[in-house]
A and B are shown apart, each in its own frame.
Chain A
Amino acid sequence: MSSAGNSQPNGAPAIHAEQLCRHYRMGETVIRAVDGVTLEVCAGQFVALLGSSGSGKSSILNLIAGLDRPTSGGVTVHGHNLAHLSREELARYRLHTVGMVFQSFNLIPSMTLSENVELPMRFAEIERGKRDSLAREALARVGLETRMNHRPSELSGGEQQRAALARALINRPRLLLADEPTGNLDSHTGTEIMNMVREFNQQLGMTVVMVTHERALAERYAQRLIFLADGKLVSDEANSAFVTSGGTEQARR
């Protein structure tokens, strides 16, 4: 069930960003959302991007996700140099390599949970019968098998985020990008979600990059804390407080 075909040895860079810049023009002024960030994330690592709002952490996440293109510099994810990919190839990359969860869940309100979870498989042109069983399986994994035919509006925030997690993992990506995944949840539900994310990280060997402004949350789950301010990398440190659920200091893979 681990990210299939992950031939890279543990510790090889899953993400490599080099002098990454993303500038926006706002009339006369140029906003440097990301301003020369260089970082490397190893496969299987759980990394937290921390910083106040406007620090550029979400912009970096969007660049890694291939939703946005850098103004200069480059990102390479699992051997894909995103700068060299066409729009079509970038879509394929998002489809197969990346799973995303958002603060606002971003489920399509007109679709049931199972349809939402199935959606990436539709784009991957997986046949209907297989889609159904995979969606069922994924929802069962996050404990929503009884809510499959409900619409997002009929569910609590925690349940919606669980469904979003199931959707993010449905095409078995190597990389999970989470943008403030607990931002809209109470602390209990947030913990529940984060435990799931950790479980995927440890059991499936997925690389996780989580954007958050809650330092406590980051310290509790991430192996590595990266602090950003004004689009620049301020500090990059291993999380000394990190304890895996199994009790060991590092993830085994």
Chain B
Amino acid sequence: MKLPDLAELAMRNLRESVLRNSLTTIGISVGVASLVAMLSLGIGLQQLASRRLMKSGLFDTVVATSRRDLHNFNRDQEASGPAPGESRILDETTRQEIEHMPNVLEAYPDIRFITELRYEDKPHLTMVAALPSSAQSTDAFDALQGHFFSSDTAPEAVIQKTFAEELLGKTPKAGLDPSNVATLAAPLLGKELTMRYAQREAARSAPATAAKENAAADQGLAGAAYSVVSRELKLKIVGVADLDPESMRGPTRARVFLPLKLAESLHVMQPTDLREISRAPTDQPVYSSVSVRVKNPSQVQTVEDAIKKMGFNTFSILDASRSIQQFFKVLDVFLGIFGSLALAVAFIGIVNTLVMAILERRREIGIMKAVGASDGDVKRLFFAEAGAMGILGGIVGVVLGWAIGQLINLGTNVYLKRQSFPPEHFWSVPWWLVVFALVFSFLVSLAAGLYPAGRAARLDPVQALRYE
């Protein structure tokens, strides 16, 4: 039998017992809908998480630290490679070398120090960190009140919300009210902060007594000395950030940010300076860590590996996100299994409907065989009926699943709005899921038709025609 004829016959047979067949089709739809709903929830949540991470600006960042710093993010890395004492120094030359690596956008030193800031003659002790101008594109500054640094060397500061609260003497409140930042920022923007810091100043002439005592041994070390001078710098508060731009750093996160070039020019005494003085003289700055921004998150791994090869320890959020990805994979599998369970019920429904149809249409099958239908014709007819129910159920199911998703999305966002969170898109039905659901439903239906179709094809026409 030709395909159009087959389809036509199948459709008319489906219409004959319209109630039973539509109930079966609805069964398939519900199965497909639950599959689509479950998977799109999984995909949506995963995308939400990735979007968040991506926008945080951390996804494309690799932090390189010297092995000489014994406390690192990843202890496994310390087990291999050169001993800390023999490993390379993370200095300006190295920074430039990293910056010129392929796929690297920029590599900037992490300058951070704990120091005292005076606001209205009250001292506050906090962590200060330098930020490159590229940092303003990250979502940490989405809800920034005021503006970002006007230039890379401007004596300006962006402060974190919690520090603003401290400056104003307010106790932190629970909950994230966006209006909070605005009210905090209003009295602070344009005000002056006085930062006190310890400047390292190269001392060309070492103290005379020391030089005499160690004259022989210290020949090559002459000049490897510096003095530490206390300095003051007046900073203008230009912005108050809502979110924490350094959430990745945990306890070392800063609450006051300075432009990178300004911070570099200050030559603030770093903890590593004390250690490095014992090593060898160098006239270029040495950093405890360098942040490397990669052009594309997909290249993070390559860059990370390259930096590791140079002999440094690295850390990227990708390391952390790998376990997140794994979690979502597992979640997807589970959601898929639950969705498939519904489809399995639909599968049994199709088998049942078609077996019932055989019993009901025994005589009809006998007649068809008597007038010349082959086993294959009968088999294909039942297959076509199963397939038609599958396609129909699949289409309705995808629409239904999408609608359920939209509904839940809407409901969740209404809830989020009430909790004064920004709306989010939890639900994602990518086109491949639609295609997958349709094909899957069709294949499942065909599989369900396998047994009934075979049984119908084998039906003995003499028996079938005798059957009244």
Contacts and interface: CB of A to CB of B under 8 A. Distances in A.
A94 B364 CA distance: 16
B364 A95 contact: no
**Chain B binding site: helix, strand, loop or mixed by DSSP?**
helix
B55 to A, nearest CB: 59
Contacts of B376: 88
A186 B363 CA distance: 24
Contacts of A67: 369-370, 461-462, 465
Contact of B374 (A62, A88, A104, A120): A88
The 9 closest A-B pairs by CB, nearest first: A95-B372, A91-B374, A120-B371, A94-B372, A67-B461, A122-B5, A123-B372, A110-B16, A106-B367
A60 interface: no
Nearest to B8: A122
Contacts of B462: 62, 67-68
A73 to B, nearest CB: 17
Interface in B427-468: 460-462, 465, 468
Nearest to B15: A110
Contacts of B221: none
A167 interface: yes
A106 B368 CA distance: 10
Nearest to B12: A110
B275 interface: no
A123 B370 contact: no
Interface string A89-116: 0011011100010101011101100000
Contacts of A168: 371
B9 interface: yes
17 contacts: A62-B462, A67-B370, A68-B460, A88-B374, A91-B372, A92-B374, A94-B370, A96-B372, A106-B367, A106-B370, A107-B367, A111-B12, A120-B371, A123-B1, A123-B368, A123-B373, A123-B377
A217 interface: no
A229 interface: no
Number of contact residues on A: which range applies? 20 to 34
A22 to B, nearest CB: 10
B2 interface: yes
Contact of A87 (B4, B367, B372, B375): B375
B379 to A, nearest CB: 11
B370 A125 contact: no
A62 B12 CA distance: 29
Interface of B: 1-2, 4-5, 9, 12-13, 16, 363-364, 366-377, 460-462, 465, 468
Contact of A94 (B1, B371, B460): B371
A12 interface: no
Contacts of A123: 1, 368, 371-374, 377
Given A62-B462, A104-B468, A125 B1 contact: yes
A91 B375 CA distance: 8
B363 A106 contact: yes
Name the residue among B371, B460, B461 with the largest chain A CB count within 10 angstroms.
Answer: B371
Given A91-B372, A110-B16, A119-B371, A125 B2 contact: yes
B370 A122 contact: no
B330 to A, nearest CB: 49
Contact of A119 (B368, B375, B460, B461): B368
B372 A120 contact: yes
Contacts of A128: 4-5
Contacts of A104: 468
B372 A108 contact: no
Contacts of B465: 67, 102, 106
A124 interface: yes
A87 B374 contact: yes
A178 to B, nearest CB: 13
Contacts of B468: 104
Contact of B371 (A68, A87, A110, A167): A167
A100 B366 CA distance: 12
Interface string A113-135: 00000011011110010000000
B454 to A, nearest CB: 13
Contacts of B374: 87-88, 91-92, 123
Contact of A108 (B367, B369, B460): B367
B331 to A, nearest CB: 48
A225 interface: no
Given A62-B462, A106-B465, A123-B1, A95 B375 contact: no
Contacts of B369: 67, 91, 94
A222 interface: no
A68 B369 CA distance: 11
Contact of B373 (A91, A107, A171): A91
A144 interface: no
A179 B354 CA distance: 31
A123 B2 CA distance: 8
Contact of A122 (B9, B13, B375, B460): B9
Name the residue among B4, B465, B468 with the largest chain A CB count within 10 angstroms.
Answer: B465
